[in-house]
Amino acid sequence: MTNKPIKSALVSVFHKEGLDELVQILIKKEVLFYSTGGTATYLQSLGANVVEVADLTGYPSILGGRVKTLHPKIHGGILARRNEASDLAELAKYEIPTIDLVVVDLYPFEETVASGADDEAIIEKIDIGGIALIRGAAKNFEDVVIVPSQAYYQPLAQILAAQDGETNLEQRRDFAKAAFDVSSHYDGHIYQYFAKHTETPSIKISHSQSQVLRYGENPHQKGVFYGDLPALFERLNGKELSYNNLVDIDGAIQLVNEFDEPFFAVIKHTNACGAATGATILEAWKKALAGDPVSAFGGVLACNRPIDTETAKAINEIFIEVLIAPEYSEEALIILKSKKNRILLRQKMPITATKVVKNVLNGVLVQESDSKNAEVENFDIKTTRKPSEIEIQDIIFGEKIVKHLKSNAICLVKGGQLIGSGCGQTSRIDALKQAIAKAHHYEFDMKGSILSSDAFFPFSDSVAYAHRYGIEVIVQPGGSVKDSETIDYCENAGMCLVMTGLRHFKH
């Protein structure tokens, strides 16, 4: 494979950190640089031989810097095919020099949007010339090397240092692939910015970072996470996160986000097997664990308060896979790190999702996240028996829990504690039976508890079954053609029936 030397380079970068090593290698090879503005000044400070782009094109930078490199004398030198006599003849005719290397680092559009900048500042960070340079150089990879972002300064420097300032075709093709990765990601975020307030006919999803997982959902499946985990969590202990860990962590975070008061969740296979509020985070943990201590084994835990020493001691008594908290005391960390594989994550920032995306058939489904909760003022109480203030608090709690269980779902709550749940069942009565069986197994008194259902009861059999166990308050969205049967049963039995008008299917 024939190597090609680099005799000329066009450099136009936003971030200059880390560029010096590459430039110094090129200077030693007597490479001629073309550049503009601050980048040209930077290159000259390193001792580079620099020709200003304006001197090459005969045009200054115009429109406040919007147009610098968009000129045939730049793009002709990049796109000319070195093995095409007609291309070389035109270069000679119009006095266009060949350019062997293009180094670009685009305006930070994504970062500017994230900073909360106004529209004018964001629009000015849409790079035009840089994208054109990247695409042109990548297209002509047989003759030109493209460095499309700051992340690739070092890789090219290492190649040139090892190969006496030259690159081979395979390496140039790899840089071209990286270039189109960078440009498509950049354009995708611009599209998302313009599309954020409107319905659009297409979807663009792009993540510039990835992490290869040990395996996917099962050992025979490959798995990759695309996203920036270090931006969200600091891993303080334990092994790398698995595919299933990440799915459960997502479910745990979504549930914890529902609560402002001290709250603990225990997640298994995306469902809450334990959930509770408390006056302290220790109380919340003890109540959450008591809801189903068997299922908590190997679970993913999440809370919304710092982990103190006493809470760490209590958690340390059982085997868990993952613990997520906003902070840990120094002594708590010492205690929890006693298990070397236990994954401890410090959550750095709020994590919310406005969209849900799911692969289906030969495409994807996209929907808004289920961010709506039942509100007291919208309760439609269908019975003479009304809920007490304490029961209303549990209704609100139960509705937040059942929303995050797989359908068909029923949860039983009492005193800010999940005492029984049935989820992922093919019938509502089976979900109810599962929830009651759980509560009975762990010796909870179901009298005074609240039953929340993620969808309506198609028949009165479920409320009749619940009534046998002392459950008197039923919460459901309503909407069945046979709602009257359920209402009549509750009224005649002296039960309370609250319809929220809000269904929470989760598949």
269 is catalytic: yes
**Nearest partner of 327 among 316, 311, 340, judged by Cα:** 311
How many other CB atoms sit within 10 Å of the CB of residue 381?
A: 12
DSSP conformation letters of 72-128: HHHHHHHH--TT-HHHHHHHHHTT-----EEEEE---HHHHHHTT--HHHHHHT--S
Cβ burial of 251 (10 Å; 0-12, 13-18, 19+) is: buried
Helix (H, G, I), strand (E, B) or coil at 496: strand
CA angle 273, 393, 503 (to 5 degrees): 65
DSSP conformation letters of 462-478: HHHHHHTTT--EEEE--
- Helix ranges restricted to H, 415-460: 428-441
**Nearest partner of 190 among 105, 125, 133, judged by Cα:** 125
Choose, from 139, 185, 406, 440, the residue flagged as catalytic. 139
Buried-state track 397-408, b at ≥16 Cβ within 10 A, e below 16? bbbbbbbbbbbb
Tokens 């479910």 belong to residue:
251
**Nearest partner of 156 among 144, 143, 147, 148, judged by Cα:** 147
Cα–Cα distance, 297 to 303 (Å, whole number): 17
Strands annotated E in 372-436:
380-381, 410-413, 418-422
Cα–Cα distance, 7 to 268 (Å, whole number): 59
Helix (H, G, I), strand (E, B) or coil at 419: strand
Choose, from 269, 313, 339, 433, the residue flagged as catalytic. 269
CB 485 within 8 A of CB 465: no
Helix (H, G, I), strand (E, B) or coil at 271: strand
Q: Which two tokens stand for residue 486?
A: 């359920």
Catalytic residue list: 139, 269
